[in-house]
Chain A
């Protein structure tokens, strides 16, 4: 009888160790998921696009209604400081916004500002 009790100890220890091992793997993966999520959220230029849109809206509300020099400012400064290509144009009341930072690109044509 005593001779076989060792087998049970081996079986139990194996089950326990495999269980702990899988729990550790799951914990490991969950942290990786948190990191990649935060990284992709940091990388996506949500705020940049919101900001650009708000700026174009502000320009459209000025007494002059447009500002070609501002469009040049946006293009030059963004290329120099933010590594993004921006092109904004206003043709007879229709606004065009083009944004591309190499990973994300965004296009919009606005005929009427309703937000």
Chain B
């Protein structure tokens, strides 16, 4: 007689606990799925920063002729002017390599294109500048303005004048 309503307490306990467990499990599971895009963004950010830094280093002249710092051709401008795709590729890969072991190189892949303005047609045109075959992987794009001095001979696809070209590099792992 005394214990007639004991069951109600246990029923309430069971319902409350199961509802809270379901909410908790749902929240934990949905938290884990959100983790992936956040992670990808941070990796993309890192890769983009690395690529921009590498291009900035390559576009900085190795020396200055005097204290006023007059123009000297950078390694990057030299590669584009002479059409040395292999030289650009090896220097870029060496600088972009984040590992210290020479026999285990980082697997950063790239594909480069030089964009320039054709003064006669007024169009912006692209010229491939070496790299790996891009097959729609998750990639980031880094760019660098490169000044080419018209006093030196330029490759055939460029107008024979001093000009700024845009080097676009697609990076992926």
Contacts and interface: CB of A to CB of B under 8 A. Distances in A.
B55 to A, nearest CB: 8
Interface residues of B, number: 53
A73 interface: yes
Interface stretch (B81-89, B103-111, B144-152): B144-152
A51 B164 CA distance: 12
B142 interface: yes
Contacts, number: 140
Contact of B28 (A24, A58, A69, A80): A24
Given A24-B28, A31-B38, A13 B16 contact: yes
Interface string B115-136: 1110100101000000000000
B145 A55 contact: yes
B16 A3 contact: no
Nearest to B30: A28
11 contacts: A10-B12, A14-B16, A34-B38, A35-B38, A38-B44, A47-B52, A54-B56, A62-B149, A69-B161, A73-B117, A82-B143
Interface of A: 3, 6-7, 9-10, 13-14, 17-18, 20-21, 24-25, 27-28, 31-32, 34-35, 38-39, 41-42, 47-48, 50-52, 54-55, 58-59, 61-64, 67, 69-70, 72-74, 76-78, 80-82
